[in-house]
């Protein structure tokens, strides 16, 4: 079954009429992990923002569906309810809001958008404790304000916990270009691997071949100048690690 299908997607920045995505084609089957690599500025983050429904981008052509449903017409809450999850490149800090409260609010917002009843306090507690335990997250961290004073590794762990709680169908992870140490990278990989499931798909955007050593994607795509220019297996990531993008992009041109 197809989870995510993107066809000929063209996107401009609303403010500047600057074209960023210039015909992205991408199909992710249910149960698969796809990775997107590519030089800085090629449009990887823009793709993840557009899929999650962030403001400021205009789709000028093409389509994107989640399990056959058009998502581009949905607002971000509807997309989340439909099963789309974006782990942010730069996790926000929310002073004054406890992690538990944040998680519960996010979960209930999703349920509301699905027309489901709110989760009870008791059920929520049970659920969050079980998931935190699976992910080896300290109970202490659940009580602290969202991401405030968290280390890089703790933020990553928290993102994975958010993902685990919302049980999305399509998980998009956009990794920052820098500052992800080996331990944090392993955490992300463990989280993804723990949530890998036949009914779920992942799109992992990364600059790091090393992350893919731990995640082992089914498919690797290379993005350049607003398009997917090459698709292959995990060996494609190794090729990038070894030779950089130069040869690959020249070959594709």
Binding residues for Mg ion (CB under 5 A)? 40, 44-45
What span, in angstroms and rounded, lies between the C-alpha atoms of 235 and 219? Answer: 9
Select 43 or 83, whichever has its Cβ closest to ligand ADP: 43
| Cα-Cα end-to-end distance for the chain | 32
Structure tokens at 188: 């992300």
**Integer CA distances (angstroms), 104 to 33, 83, 115, 155, 183, in order:** 27, 17, 16, 18, 28
Q: Whats the size of the chain, residue-wise?
A: 253
Select 46 or 162, whichever has its Cβ closest to ligand ADP: 46
- Minimum CB–partner distance for residue 131 and ligand ADP (Å): 29
Select 16 or 235, whichever has its Cβ closest to Mg ion: 16
Residue 43 interacting partner from Mg ion, ligand ADP, none (CB closer than 5 to 8 Å by kind): ligand ADP
- Minimum CB–partner distance for residue 38 and ligand ADP (Å): 6
Residue 110 interacting partner from Mg ion, ligand ADP, none (CB closer than 5 to 8 Å by kind): none
Select 41 or 244, whichever has its Cβ closest to ligand ADP: 41
The residue among 141, 168, 196 whose CA lies nearest residue 71 is: 168
Strand 33-37 and strand 94-98: pairing? Answer: unpaired
Q: Which residues inside 13-52 make contact with ligand ADP, applying CB under 6 A?
A: 13, 20, 38, 40-46
Residue 147 interacting partner from Mg ion, ligand ADP, none (CB closer than 5 to 8 Å by kind): none
Residue 182 interacting partner from Mg ion, ligand ADP, none (CB closer than 5 to 8 Å by kind): none
Shortest-Cβ-distance residue relative to Mg ion: 45
- Minimum CB–partner distance for residue 20 and ligand ADP (Å): 4
Residue found by looking up tokens 């789709």 in the block: 59
Residue 161 interacting partner from ligand ADP, Mg ion, none (CB closer than 5 to 8 Å by kind): none
Select 43 or 234, whichever has its Cβ closest to ligand ADP: 43
Other CB atoms within 10 A of residue 169 CB: 17
CA 6 to chain CA mean position, Å: 15
**Which residues are at the interface with ligand ADP (CB under 6 A)?**
13, 20, 38, 40-46
């Amino acid at each position: 079954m197809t989870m995510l299908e993107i066809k000929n997607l063209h996107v401009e920045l609303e403010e500047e009429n600057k074209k960023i995505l210039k015909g992205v084609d991408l199909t992710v089957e249910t149960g698969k992990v796809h990775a997107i690599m590519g030089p800085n500025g090629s449009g990887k983050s823009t793709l993840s923002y557009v899929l999650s429904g962030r403001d400021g981008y205009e789709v000028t052509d093409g389509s994107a569906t989640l399990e056959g449903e058009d998502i581009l017409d949905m607002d971000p809450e509807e997309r989340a309810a439909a099963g789309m999850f974006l782990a942010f490149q730069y996790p926000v800090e929310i002073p004054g809001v406890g992690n538990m409260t944040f998680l519960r609010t996010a979960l209930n917002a999703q349920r509301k958008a699905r027309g489901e009843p709110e989760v009870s306090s008791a059920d929520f507690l049970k659920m969050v404790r079980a998931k935190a335990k699976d992910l080896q997250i300290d109970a202490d961290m659940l009580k602290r304000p969202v991401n405030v004073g968290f280390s890089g590794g703790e933020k990553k762990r928290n993102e994975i916990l958010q993902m685990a709680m919302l049980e999305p169908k399509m998980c998009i992870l956009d990794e920052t270009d820098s500052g992800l140490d080996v331990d944090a990278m392993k955490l992300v990989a463990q989280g993804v691997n723990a949530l890998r499931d036949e009914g779920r798909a992942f799109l992992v955007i990364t600059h790091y071949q090393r992350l893919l050593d731990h995640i082992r994607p089914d498919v690797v795509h290379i993005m350049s100048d607003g398009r997917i220019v090459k698709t292959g297996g995990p060996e494609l990531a190794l090729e990038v690690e070894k030779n950089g993008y130069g040869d690959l992009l020249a070959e594709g041109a």
